[in-house]
Chains A and B, each alone.
Chain A
Amino acid sequence: MTKAFKTKDVLAAEQDLRSRTLAHMPQRLERLLYLASTRDYNTGVYRHDGLAVRFSEQAACEALADCHREAFTELLDCPLEELVKQLERYAAGTRSRSDFIAAWRELEPYRVAVPSGTDSLSSELLFSNLKVALAILQNRPADPDSPGPGASPRLLLVQ
């Protein structure tokens, strides 16, 4: 009975998260980074105050973890061409495209955006694709049609 209630609670939290927060993030990459940023790196626990108030901390944590895994799988399934487009749009929203590319190539912040329990082959494939996508972006002039900084909320990989 408790388990059924809990599952229902998690499903409702997921629905809420999708409709209120993730719906404003059309890019898969952006969703992945946002969801990773809600995770405490010291404990691996996901936190979202709004969701926790509406449901419970446990339900919020499970809903965020589920959506994080889903976002990772969706991004992994992206063909390279689509991934380059997503990265281009994401970079266009930052203050300096060249700084963004340099920082991402050097620091590889996407490595901490992987959900726990992910198969090492899957994460290696995504890292490899992002590495190639960044190299392509670096050799390509900025797209004039891309939205400028502030067009979409920028996300940080730290809480």
Chain B
Amino acid sequence: MIALIFYSLIGAGLLALLVILALRQRGAVEGSGEQFAQARQSLVTLRSGLLGANAVERIFDPRDWNFIQAGTSAEIHDLFLAERKRISLLWVSRLRGEIRNLMHFHLGYSRLHGKLELETEIRLAWDFALLLSACRALEVLLYLRGPYGAPGMVGITAGAAARVCATSEQSLGLLSPLSKDAFRRDSAEGGAAV
């Protein structure tokens, strides 16, 4: 009886896996224009917004905390730390989301693009995995220790994200007119313009 339940569960699990795989295949065509635009937007958001020197510096600026500590009450300390913690968590969550968008696009596109170097792709996949883990770890640290509890980790994560963006951009040639031509050349003659 126990064996029957056990094998039934395994069977149900395999069936569920098949359904998930079938549903995934019905999704959007990998490397489609929409995904391209989304990845491009992610890169722009990362470069100009989330990873811009001003954004990171302003959110984690120790001068603000020094000012608060120097001349305000404990009530203000708590309010400031709670507010800055909320903003820093929002920042890291947005950063993770954009990195994930970029990774999904990259995974889909690299399967269609034969000219990508294997070594670069492996390195990039590894970097994406490490970066997403670092974002999660940073999220936990910020949650537990507050916005000023992990200054080194913030710098490392932001730096790693910037490097991954640069490698991804270089690999796929996003945002450069030259690569748009390459993208056009990849399309069949008379295909949709990019």
Q: Do A and B bind each other?
A: yes
State the A residues within 8 Å of B (CB): 76-77, 79-81, 119, 121-122, 124-125, 128-129, 131-132, 135-136, 139
Closest to A128 in B: B83
Known A-B contacts A128-B87, A136-B76, A139-B72; A121 and B50 likewise in contact (beta carbons under 8 Å): yes
Closest to B59 in A: A125
Are A122 and B86 within 8 A (Cβ)? no
Known A-B contacts A122-B55, A135-B79, A139-B73; A80 and B87 likewise in contact (beta carbons under 8 Å): no
Pick from B49, B73, B80: contact of A132, CB below 8 A: B80
| Distance to closest chain A CB from B102 (angstroms) | 17
For this complex, 14 residue pairs linking A to B, each with C-beta atoms less than 8 Å apart, are A79-B63, A79-B64, A80-B64, A80-B80, A119-B49, A121-B49, A121-B50, A121-B90, A124-B87, A125-B87, A128-B86, A128-B87, A132-B79, A136-B76
Closest to B64 in A: A80
Are B54 and A119 within 8 A (Cβ)? no
Additional A-B contacts beyond A81-B67, A128-B86, A132-B83 (9; CB < 8 A): A77-B54, A119-B45, A121-B49, A121-B87, A128-B87, A131-B79, A132-B68, A136-B72, A139-B72
How many residues of chain B get a CB closer than 8 Å to chain A's CBs? 25
| Distance to closest chain A CB from B184 (angstroms) | 26
How many Å lie between the Cα of A131 and that of B86 in the bound state?
Answer: 13
Question: Which residues does chain A contribute within 8 Å of B61, judged by CB atoms?
Answer: 79-80
Are A122 and B76 within 8 A (Cβ)? no
B109 at interface (Cβ–Cβ under 8 A)? no
Question: Which residues does chain A contribute within 8 Å of B84, judged by CB atoms?
Answer: 128
Question: Which residues does chain A contribute within 8 Å of B72, judged by CB atoms?
Answer: 136, 139
Are B49 and A122 within 8 A (Cβ)? yes
Question: Which residues does chain A contribute within 8 Å of B94, judged by CB atoms?
Answer: 121
Are A76 and B86 within 8 A (Cβ)? no
Pick from A76, A81, A136: contact of B58, CB below 8 A: A76
Known A-B contacts A77-B54, A80-B67, A124-B90; A139 and B49 likewise in contact (beta carbons under 8 Å): no
Question: Which residues does chain B contribute within 8 Å of A119, judged by CB atoms?
Answer: 45, 49
Closest to B61 in A: A79
